[in-house]
Chains A and B, each alone.
Chain A
């Protein structure tokens, strides 16, 4: 088992003091050094070519940035090596980004799968170019966004329409990725149609070799699933595990909203730094070890208010809690 770091640590929707600096290459150049100094030699990058600010900045999230800021993918990897990062382990693509773009441009729902397929293929190429051996796919947008895009249908109809199509698409992407030696794994957020144990439906209908499961501990727990149980159940079909944490309890059915990660009612802080929340991370680690998992575990503290402190806390937690568990 190897531990990497998810770049999700940095909120891509920067907010607060020095927000513009976080969009510059210099911020990221330094961050790579700090990730390495915190003992992480592998990272996961999101792929999002749509976001206006990210597409013209130094944030390493799409092919354009690799070319404009580093001179190309090979040069980017060589640069990472110099900063102390050995590899980009996986890339992450989310249906949420497609839904956001559609909402913004007014594109009609029937175009959704074509657009998602396009993004997934672009992400696959991105993963291939940066030498990643995995593509983590979040297969559904926020339920609230999807319902909105579909024009006011109920959740049952939405599910009945969406799931067969996305299942087919994920299978297709999985097969295409396998041809390039890239492993696809699905990650289910607490706000998606496949939340919690809902992912099992997709897993049961897709090729077990080409489509693996990428469990994200906090996402599963918020959705009411037991991450340890799912890790044990899907042993052998797991890749790119995400260690994450939360205190959040979704008492207001916020998962149905269009913006579930920034709740309006009740508690609003959805994620916390790894080790600070209610997830029994050591138990999940034991489950991975006992089931013979030998892949990567990406550690993250999503939406942390202090990236640098969170990085050091990750290392402390791995060395002093996980290693001793």
Chain B
């Protein structure tokens, strides 16, 4: 049972690194915001596996839902592509 949990944690950490790199790499800002939401969701799963379900609920609600919505609203009012003018 603990081996399965460790394997799931390893996969989650790999996914965290990949999504965190994707946030930096993407030039499309809406894609970067969605990748940040995915990173937050994986982080909340990792919190749950580390037996902090309280933090996991807060991370899932604030990080995955509200922050993504606020970032997408902000991107809608500015520009979608990254770059300097």
- Is the pairing of A and B real? no
Q: Could you tell me which A residues sit within 8 Å of B by CB distance?
A: none
